[in-house]
Structure 1
Amino acid sequence: MVQNYVAYVDEAGDEGFGKLGAATRTAQSKWFAIGAMIVSESENRDLPSWRDSIMSDFPKKKSRDLHFRELKHDQRVHVCTILAGKPAGACIVASNKITLLTHPKRDVFKQKQHLYNYMTRFLLERLTSACKKKASLEHNDTAHLTIVFSRRRGTDYQVMRQYLELMRDGRELFRPVRSIDWSVLDPADIAVENHSKRAGLQLADVYTSAIWTALEPNEFDFCEPRYGKTLTPRLLKHMGQRLDCGLTLIPPFGKTPLSKEQEEFIQYVRTFKEKKGVGPQNPDPHR
């Protein structure tokens, strides 16, 4: 029997890099992240109850939708702590847009949706690999992945499907080192939903925004790594390593400029290991 998985995809930050400068409210973000929460078919049915349980802890909030950016610091810590104990995997791809200012293909990345599609490819490569590995090792079976994107203004998802089909059919000019596992994902199995309609998208927002906040300087030029550190146990890993699997930097670690604060967070993710007998009660089934 095929093992079915669902990945909910959301983003944090923006794609633009024409107005990168001092960290202010009017500048474009220095980092852009696309992230996913991935669950098995059975766990997918539990996501509304996860979200509702979290929102019940915030009785004064008028909206019952979960938006990370609308939470206060202590509420963010609380939500991340709860999700760190849930049986879900997380995968985030983060682009340091400062490096695009001098990139030889700068004009290409300035084209509408190009950076988004480029990073989505990295994300899907890692998600399909994790699904195939889990289904094979734990169930001696094949895997199938459904992707649900959070609808965002200005994104043409038909163009994205065509981009994925081009890769699937081997019509690229340059073949990548890695590739999406097309035995796991069919471009037709991509859905687009509004954030408010799916609990999974609201939870994916937490994972993605938590990691992004650890990398993106605020208006006072410092980052907040606590949320990302709390959720680090949920990041997918390959051969014991979360960096370049659960969290992928573009350019990669060692080639992308990082502040001392950002590097400390990345080193935390890179060297994180669970202690025996310590950690979430529900082990991550996607590692």
Structure 2
Amino acid sequence: MTTRRRKWPWPKRAIRESPRSVRPPIRQLPRRAKARGGDLEAGDASPVLRRGEYGVRGPSKDTSFLGGDAPDYDYVLYVDEAGDLGLKTGAEGGGASSKWFCLGGVVIARKFEAELVEWVRDLRFALHLGGGPGLHYKNLPRDLRVRACDLAAGLKMRGFVVASHKENMRGHENKRAAIRNGQQPFYNFMLRVLLERVTSCVAQSSERRFGEPRRLKVVLAQTGGVYYSQTLAYIELLKIQAEGHTTYLNAMEIDPRVLSIHLVEPVSAKTVAGCQLADLVTSAFNNALNPDGTAPLFNAPAEALAPIMARRNKISGEFGVQLLPWSKQIPDEFKPIFRSYGYRWG
């Protein structure tokens, strides 16, 4: 007697819970917490998390390309991108790409890692999208984009985004990074800027909560044309430079105490709930900077995320929200969203 295998309504690797025939009452989404700089658990009154206390599943054996045992961690960063990596802009025609490239993410304490699937499902139900396996910003109509970001701003996470005006970035690339990273210096440089800010936030949070720096796991949504072995090599180089205080262009440095290349994992964004939350944050800012599409230069979704965007000295600008190039010389049409986060022009 042969046993027929059950056919699932979506791939097995889709967000990791089996479908439910009867949906229980939707639990209320967390109330919006008051933003407090680098606090990754704003409004959380639970006791300090002890390592392994909640039994959350650790990283898989394939967490890095280097093999071996991965160290333990207490924070997770999910990273996604919006726009494309090409430096040729739309004004130049001939296979041109978008004017902006945004790389961003969300950071959570590890004890919330097991709740991410439920967070995404609750968002979908609150948006009347049903209980499907994913949430993707580009598929949301204009009004639901604002609502989704408003709800996401109540979750216990911190948001970060690095937004690059590509036309002004040409000629500003790090030549040393270009030599060492072959075909992808632009992506690696953007990731470096993001990690500098995230590791600073994580170090601050972990020292306050645990009395010492704790590790950060980095989950990267896969991007076409990026070779992650090169990215890992670049991250390791930045760690070595930070430890030796030899970082090139060292306005900020990666905090090497919280970062390990054994905890860097490229994944498909379609199968990881945390990457879908990262997509929500990153795409909202790209929406505010994109003059094309169904909702051009639409600022409201990105502005709704203000409670969770990381802050330094009570301002998100140049920390949780980072504009590139450093000179801040961009066309006036793109300035409103940055003004909302503390940037100023004369």
User: Is this a same-fold pair by TM over 0.5?
Assistant: yes
1:269 aligns with 2:338: no
* Deviation, structure 1 residue 137: 2.2
Length-normalised TM-score, structure 2: 0.70
Query: 2:274: which partner in 1?
Result: 200
Q: 1:113 aligns with which of 184, 195, 212?
A: 184
Which residue does the alignment assign to 1:151? Answer: 222
Alignment map for 1:66-77 (pairs within 5 Å): 66-77=135-146
In 2, distance between residues paired with 1:132 and 1:266? 26
**1:150, 1:195 within 8 Å by CA — same for their partners in 2?**
yes
Number of residue pairs matched?
Answer: 268
Contact (CA 8 Å) 1:131, 1:184: kept in 2 or not? yes
Distance in 2 (CA, whole Å) between partners of 1:60 and 1:250 is: 35
Give the Å deviation of 1:17: 2.0
Aligned to 1:283: none
Task: Say if 1:86 and 1:60 are closer, same or farther in 2 by CA, change over 3 A.
Answer: closer
| Paired letter, 2:214 | A
Superposed displacement of residue 111, structure 1 = 6.2
Candidates 71, 74, 78, aligned match of 1:4: 74
Distance apart, 1:75 and its partner CA: 1.7
Q: 1:56 is matched with which residue? A: 125
1:278 corresponds to: none
Letter of the structure 2 residue corresponding to residue 225 of structure 1 = N
Q: Which residue of 318, 322, 331 maps to 1:258?
A: 331
How far apart are residue 151 of structure 1 and its match? 1.3
Match status 1:237 vs 2:307: no
- Alpha-carbon distance in structure 1 between the residues aligned to 2:206 and 2:174: 38
- In 2, distance between residues paired with 1:186 and 1:154? 23
The separation in 1 between residues aligned to 2:127 and 2:272, in whole angstroms, is 19
Name 1:163's counterpart in structure 2: 234
Q: CA deviation at 1:256?
A: 2.1
Aligned equivalent of 1:215, options 272, 278, 289: 289
Q: Letter of the 1:270 partner, please give it.
A: G
In structure 2, the residue matched to 1:190 is 264
* Alignment partners' CA distance in 2, 1:188 and 1:38: 18
Provide closer, same or farther for how the CA distance between residues 139 and 119 of structure 1 changes in structure 2, counting only shifts above 3 A.
same
Mapped to 2, the partners of 1:101 and 1:221 lie a distance apart of: 27
Task: Report how far residue 20 of structure 1 moved.
Answer: 2.8
Deviations for 1:250-286, whole angstroms, at most 9, x for unmatched residues? 113x632132x42222111117xxxxxxxxxxxxxxx
Q: Output the CA distance in 2 between the equivalents of 1:239 and 1:58.
A: 34
**SS in structure 2 of the partner of residue 187 of structure 1:** strand
> Is residue 86 from structure 1 mapped to residue 155 from structure 2 by the alignment?
yes
Q: Report the CA distance shift for 1:101/1:160 in structure 2 as closer, same or farther (over 3 A).
A: closer
Q: What is the CA RMSD across the aligned residues, in angstroms?
A: 2.9
**Any conservation in 1 of the 2:161–2:321 contact (CA below 8 Å)?**
yes
Does the 8 Å CA contact 2:203/2:213 hold for their aligned counterparts?
A: yes
The higher relative CO (CA closer than 8 Å, separation ≥ 6) is in 1
Aligned 8 A contact 1:55 1:64 in 2 = no
| Corresponding position of 2:203 | 132
Distance in 2, Cα, partners of 1:39 & 1:124: 14
